[in-house]
Structure 1
Amino acid sequence: MDQFFGEKFWDQFEGIVKPNIPQINIYQTDHELLCIVNVPGLQDLDKLDIYVDYATLELRGVIDIGHEGGTVLKDEILQGVFDRSVSLPFPVRSDKIKATYKNGLVYIQLHRFISDSGRKNRVNVRLLEDE
């Protein structure tokens, strides 16, 4: 199918045909973002990679519920290797990030980046003397 439609054809259906993993909710206040990421069964926190670059959040890891044996009758919990990149609504500070894990959820707190160049600076006007 990829040869006929091309590799990029399926990108537009991502999230419809196959839901994204991990699922993520993002909540915004004036100067902060709270990202809540669903990562069930995480035993080793070092196996979850979180990267923040300006206005992009990247998540890499594995969701493995760790059950073996028996015949699968229903398989709704998404699992496997993931590499997900999410655009953030504004740039965030790289020096002020907090991430915690509890009950299968990763809570990532991000703070808006406000550059000094974004402030209004008063420009002094000098009188130019006739020479």
Structure 2
Amino acid sequence: MDPFQQMTDWKKNMDHFFGENFWNEFEGIIKPTIPQINLYQTDHELFCVANIPGLVDLDKLDVYVDYSTLELRGTIDIDNSFGIKIKEEILQGVFERRISLPFPVRSDKIKATYKNGLVFIQLHRLISETSRKNRVNVHVLEDN
């Protein structure tokens, strides 16, 4: 018998027993979240660093900020013309990541840059309650 079919059957039985949302709690353990991020906070600012290797076209990365949510969408696509893949640890593929921020941020004062596979996003605390979702432009950070 096909072991993958057994695994599928086992998962269906677990879904039936525990409910369809049972696996959602394990998603970050079974399949790590991409892109990986670090989030730093000061009194009035947030600084997010996202690991997005192989990004060539910045138009293929969408960064959105909506009140107290940062959303990243895009594709991590590493050139695989080097030969036959023996081991793969760098996660690839289409991603959509929503990050809950510890406080609301201003939509008019956001800076996003990209350098050496990392996206740097600087956000400022929102004082006013009026806000809406805005797309953030990402620029290449030049070496000095």
- Normalising by structure 1, we get a TM-score of 0.83
1:113-128 alignment, distance < 5 Å? 113-115=126-128
Distance 1:2 1:89, change over 3 A: farther
Q: State the alpha-carbon separation in 1 of the partners of residues 46 and 60 from structure 2.
A: 23
Letter in 1 for 2:37: I
Q: State the alpha-carbon separation in 1 of the partners of residues 66 and 46 from structure 2.
A: 14
1:1-35, Cα deviation, whole Å (9 max, x unpaired): 24741442211012111100000000000000000
Unaligned runs of 5+ in 2: 1-10, 130-144
Match of 2:50 in 1: 37
1:52 aligned onto 2:37 = no
- Normalising by structure 2, we get a TM-score of 0.76
Distance 1:13 1:38, change over 3 A: same
1:96-115 alignment, distance < 5 Å? 96-115=109-128
Identity of aligned residues (%): 72
Aligned residue-pair number: 116
Letter in 2 for 1:56: T
Match of 2:38 in 1: 25
Q: State the alpha-carbon separation in 1 of the partners of residues 26 and 90 from structure 2.
A: 20
Unaligned runs of 5+ in 1: 117-131
